[in-house]
Amino acid sequence: MTMIGDDLQHVNNRIAKACVTAGRNAGEVRLLAVSKTFGPDAVREAHAAGQSAFGENYVQEGLDKIEALADLRATLEWHCIGPLQSNKTRPVAEQFDWVHSVDRLKIAERLSAQRPAQLAPLNVCLQVNVDGGPNKSGVPPEEAVALALAVAALPQLRLRGLMAIPEPAESFDAQRELFLRAHAVYRSIGEAGIALDTLSLGMSADLEAAISAGSTMVRVGTAIFGGRARKPA
């Protein structure tokens, strides 16, 4: 097995162990491999080791990889997980399968209008700012239900759930408390009549706490691919 393959197995073992500890079924939690700043060869290596879902923070970098890996397109699932500006919505709507960072109705409306009719609806998550960080993207928790109702009504989108990136916390309990805030918003949207199935929480350093708090998708980059070698211009 390759180094990336070994690291993928280690992360999947962490997920499985965290699920057992939380009294959950390991099949409830999906792994999203965050491949930002790593080239197509790294994605191809991870895919050969069994990984199919990949997250990209930078739109152009993601588009370049989608093109470079066109031969694998039918077996790859591409997630846009970084902040999304209005002028970048069209290529995302046309090329990606998921967007995790919808925090404004305007962005959702553009994605819906620009999603090609022949493609399946674009899967989207609302990004929620659970800890109030002033420099963080994300809809405030108290505005999330209204945004979810509006997004769920748009054609060519399928609202799947929520994503959050809390500030780093030092202890497991502190991490879990932040993730539970996101879970509370998730429940409130469900109580408003919108069926959700995805709670995108947790990264390399805190995936155990996220799973304990109910995460159904963890976004892991460093623990699979290593430290970031570069940042795209």
**Model-level pTM greater than 0.85?**
yes
Tokens of 230: 């570069």
In whole angstroms, give the CA distance from residue 102 to residue 162.
9
Return the minimum-mean-pLDDT range out of 19-23, 34-38, 228-232. Answer: 228-232
Share the mean pLDDT of the chain: 95
Would you give the DSSP letter of residue 28? Answer: G
Name which of 131, 142, 122 is nearest 189 in CA terms.
Answer: 142
The answer to whether the CB of 108 falls within 8 A of the CB of 86 is: no
How far lies 121's CA from each of 60, 92, 178, 205, in Å?
21, 12, 31, 32
> What percent of the chain has pLDDT above 90?
91
Sign of CA dihedral 137, 140, 141, 144: negative
Average pLDDT value for residue range 75-90: 97
pLDDT of residue 132: 83
pLDDT of residue 24: 98
Q: How confident is residue 228, by pLDDT bands cut at 50, 70 and 90?
A: low
Query: Does the pLDDT at position 23 exceed 60?
Result: yes
In whole angstroms, give the CA distance from residue 42 to residue 104.
33
